[in-house]
Amino acid sequence: MIATVEEYLEKLKANLEGCDAAILQDALSDAEEYLRNGLETARAADPVFNEAEALGKLIEEFGTPEEFAADYRKVEARVRPTFAAPLPGKENASIFYRTIGIFTDPSAWSALLFMLLSLVTGVIYFTWAVTGLSLSVGLLVLIISLPLIGLFLLSVRGIALVEGRIVEALLGVRMPRRPIFVDRNISWWARFKILLGSKHTWLALVYMILMLPLGVIYFSVFITLIALSLAFFIAPIAQLFAAFPIVYFGSDQFYLDPGLGFLSGLIGLAFAIGTMHLAKLIGGWHGSLAKALLVSD
């Protein structure tokens, strides 16, 4: 018989062994929230209640660790990130089709969108992280700093959850969909110590700081590649209708030879294909980085 919530969670963790870390985090959070809130409700109704007996009734309603783990696996098998799996029929496609067909791959487009948005999110995350750290350290000598530090660390966890949803939506990497459960019935000091001592909080803060340089790199690289692709495509077409030099060198202007228009278009296509494949490749790498820093152990 399971006597404590901690014992239930340990058994649930064992039954979910091999699952994605984000799935494990969500399952543990769901189970702990249900059981602890149920115990608190029973305690409020009868202050002298038997905790082990009340927990047994809750588990009977909620399900044993084995039952809950099995149900969670079934739900996860049906609810996957939009871009997590390859499109049907693409697994056995030829190399030529997989190269050119990148334009029909939604995951490549969503990864490219993530790369372009990362500059905005990177600036926001970095500004918030540096401002919060500066205020926390600067006010450390004052007693009022403790609530402010606690609120800042809570905001870091909230931002980590939001960023996880963006990563899952655009990069197709399974990320946590539930906040990490923190018992609201313990003292604020105990909750503060949990936040301060949690590796998850500090890794999320590291991610927020890293997003600025990464966002600058992503945006710069991909906006340049997009501009080059469009330039090689548009230049020969634009020259058919107007004087559209492809290069300015001082007062000199250089035009594309009409015979090279087709070659220019092929170069533009090559840049476009390379851009899409690079976006998907870097998107996969960034998803792994986000999972390593934003998912609790």
- AA identity, residue 80: R
Backbone angles phi, psi at 249, to 5 degrees: -135, 95
CA 203 distance to own-chain centroid: 13
**Residues facing residue 248 across a β-bridge:** 253
Query: Is pLDDT larger for residue 279 or for residue 71?
Result: 279
Does residue 142 or residue 74 have the better pLDDT?
A: 74
pLDDT at 253 over 90: no
Range 2-10 contact pairs with CB under 8 angstroms and sequence separation of 24 or more: 2/55, 2/56, 2/59, 2/65, 3/52, 3/55, 4/52, 4/55, 5/32, 5/35, 5/36, 5/39, 5/55, 8/35, 8/55, 8/59, 8/65
Region of poorest pLDDT, from 85-94, 236-245, 254-263 = 85-94
Instruction: Provide, rounded to the nearest whole percent, the portion of the chain with pLDDT above 70.
Output: 86
CA atoms within 13 A on the CB side of 120: 7
Phi and psi at 248, nearest 5°, equal -110, 130
> What average pLDDT score do residues 10-38 get?
90
3-state secondary structure of 138: helix
Residue 250 has pLDDT above 70, yes or no: no
- pLDDT tens, residue by residue, 141-192: 777 778 888 899 999 999 999 999 999 999 999 999 888 887 777 777 788 8
What is d(CA 159, CA 164) in angstroms, rounded to the nearest whole number?
8
